[in-house]
Amino acid sequence: MSRPRILVTRRWPAAVEAVLSERFDATFNSDDIALDTGQLRQALLAHDAVLPTVSDKLPAALFEGDAIRTRILGNFGVGFNHIDVASAKAKDIVVTNTPGVLTDCTADIAMLLLLSVARRGGEGERELRAGLWSGWRPTHLIGVKVTGKTVGIVGFGRIGRAFAQRCHFGFGMDVVFHNRSAIDPMEAARYGAVQLPTIEDVLAVSDFVSLHCPGGAENRHLMNAARFATMKPGAFLVNTARGDIVDEAALISALEQGTIRGAGLDVYEAEPSVPEKLKTMENVVLLPHLGSATEETRTAMGMKVVDNITAFFDGREPPDRVV
């Protein structure tokens, strides 16, 4: 029996690619350049499985017609709002993701962004590298103390909880959060956290706000002009979740007008495009979507995909099935 034919849309860690080559008739994107719509459509027509990433947009139009060969999309990542899952489901295509293994590293990046924007780390490094540092002085690059402040978390899933743990037990921060569903107070207390009824309640009391909720239509522009106006004066926004959660035009306006003091961003609405105004702002720390970018985590994510598609083609239920 011939091996299932799969397409891997981007380069993955070598150890994962080796396993995929061993188990499947695997085609890799050797150029590591994001596939366009036409190439993704051809992939669905010609392969039993397509293994996409967040950089691959799979809208409803790609699933039209009766010639689709693909039976499973083994997504490399937790978020899957770049895939029209309803259209995939209508075509009986299984969609899986990779939860759990990137929790700690994404929480670490959120902490990095919080510290960097509060203590003006990006500004300081740019000044030093440009040869503009004139030496220590009492009023140079004065930032904001982190220890003992209040952090508000929007979305209290695995990553939100890991971030809360770092903030509370590492930096003595008070933690409040909003979540779509109620969290047992005893469970929240394990992370030093208290649930508040609304997002607005969280924004009103938080010195730092960190987003850890899913992207997609339900949460598109969850952080809009009205919600930025609700934040404490001098507060900071951190986003390591999905770019579409934040209305970037409203964020830029809030930063320009001093409604909030700064922002730390790892994700953007139209990646890899980043608004030029954000790039020029000294009170914004920008990272190129590094949340899960460690050797250990990216390899673990890839092996999760291997496990999911292996189970599917063996006739078993994929462990991380989304639809």
pLDDT digits (tens, 9 = 90+) for 99-108: 999 999 999 9
Instruction: Give the residue-averaged pLDDT of 136-163.
Output: 98
The pTM of the full predicted model, rounded to 2 decimals, is: 0.96
* Mean pLDDT score across all residues of the chain: 97
Assigned token pair, 168 = 């509370």
Is the Cα dihedral 45, 47, 48, 54 positive or negative?
negative
Residue 191: CA atoms inside 13 Å, Cβ hemisphere, count?
26
For the annotated catalytic residues, the residue numbers are 242, 271, 289
Instruction: Give the residue-averaged pLDDT of 256-283.
Output: 97
Instruction: Give the residue-averaged pLDDT of 115-133.
Output: 98
SS3 content of the chain, % helix, strand, coil (to 5): 40, 15, 45
Is 5-101+295-313's fold the same as 103-286's? yes
d(CA 170, CA 148): 10
Query: What string of DSSP letters covers 295-311?
Result: HHHHHHHHHHHHHHHHH
pLDDT digits (tens, 9 = 90+) for 185-232: 999 999 999 999 999 999 999 999 999 999 988 999 999 999 999 999
Q: Which CATH superfamily is domain 103-286 in?
A: NAD(P)-binding Rossmann-like Domain (3.40.50.720)
Alpha-carbon 306 to chain mean position: 21
d(CA 275, CA 288): 13
Q: Which CATH superfamily is domain 5-101+295-313 in?
A: NAD(P)-binding Rossmann-like Domain (3.40.50.720)
pLDDT digits (tens, 9 = 90+) for 33-56: 999 999 999 999 999 999 999 999
Instruction: State what percent of residues in the chain have pLDDT above 90.
Output: 98
Question: Where are the chain's structural domains?
Answer: 5-101+295-313, 103-286
pLDDT at site 107: 98
Query: What string of DSSP letters covers 149-207?
Result: -EEEEE--SHHHHHHHHIIIIIH--EEEEE-SS---HHHHHTTTEEE-SSHHHHHHH-S
pLDDT at 1 > cutoff 80: no
pLDDT digits (tens, 9 = 90+) for 275-304: 999 999 999 999 999 999 999 999 999 999
- Residue pair 253/263 in contact by the 8 Å Cβ criterion: no
